[in-house]
Amino acid sequence: MHRLFPVSVQDDIFPEYKNTPVELLLAYNNLNKEYETYTQAQLLIGMCMDNRKHLHIPDNFAYIIRAGGANLRYSEFKVSYAIAVGGVKCIALIGHNQCGMVNLMSRREAFINGLVERAGWERELAEQHFTNFTPMFEIGNEIDFVQSEAQRLRSRYPKIFVAPLFYKVEDNLLYQVKNI
């Protein structure tokens, strides 16, 4: 966690985030900045589908794509839409601790049994489903993944500012992620 930098006061925000929608996101969520009124999204937020995460942001401030592990590889058309049609120039990619997409193999039996018991799947089909899709959605370490996914998005959309951030579920705050 030594790559995470808190935002407790405005001066904690990295210089590269100043005067960007990322600065506003950090101020709204962590510093209780008074909400402004927006008629157009200022940025795209890519974050995990985990139900424990809730951002404090004003209405119309951001497009939000929720995908397991904040993995936007399979949501790229939606990212492109937010940029091309929605006009966003900035992406905040938010990973979080205690993510279910880390160490998916440890959840194999729970996953398969859940599909069998709750969804009515045949066990063999549930096993195949898990085996086929786990490699696509396993993210490894949360911090490493959010950094690598941010780098991938920067390469794919070179004119778009991409900021890797991290959400701690125990305090509901966003942290800045820095390569060290």
Confidence of residue 2 (pLDDT cuts 50, 70, 90): confident
Phi and psi torsions of 62, nearest 5°: -150, 150
pLDDT digits (tens, 9 = 90+) for 61-118: 999 999 999 999 999 999 999 999 999 999 999 999 999 999 999 999 999 999 999 9
Which residues are within 8 A (CB) of 16 and not within 5 positions of it... i.e. 6 or more apart? 163
Average pLDDT over residues 36-50: 96
Per-domain residue ranges of the chain: 4-101+141-177, 103-138
Tell me the pTM: 0.94
CB 58 within 8 A of CB 35: yes
pLDDT digits over 9-29, tens only? 999 999 999 999 999 999 999
User: What architecture (CATH level 2) is domain 4-101+141-177?
Assistant: 3-Layer(aba) Sandwich (3.40)
Confidence of residue 1 (pLDDT cuts 50, 70, 90): low
Share above pLDDT 90 across residues of the chain, in percent, rounded to a whole number: 95
The reported pLDDT for the residue numbered 179 is: 73
pLDDT band at residue 180 using 50, 70 and 90 as cut-offs: low
| Residue whose pair of structure tokens reads 């193999």 in the numeric block | 105
Amino acid at 68: G
Can you tell me which residue has the tokens 């018991």? 117
**β-bridge mates for residue 148, sequence order:** none
Query: How many residues are listed for the chain in this entry?
Result: 180
Rounded to whole angstroms, the Cα distance separating 137 from 164 reads 18
Q: What average pLDDT does the structure give for the chain?
A: 96
Q: How confident is the model over 122-167, as pLDDT tens digits?
A: 999 999 999 999 999 999 899 999 999 999 999 999 999 999 999 9
Cα(91)–Cα(105) distance, rounded to whole angstroms?
30
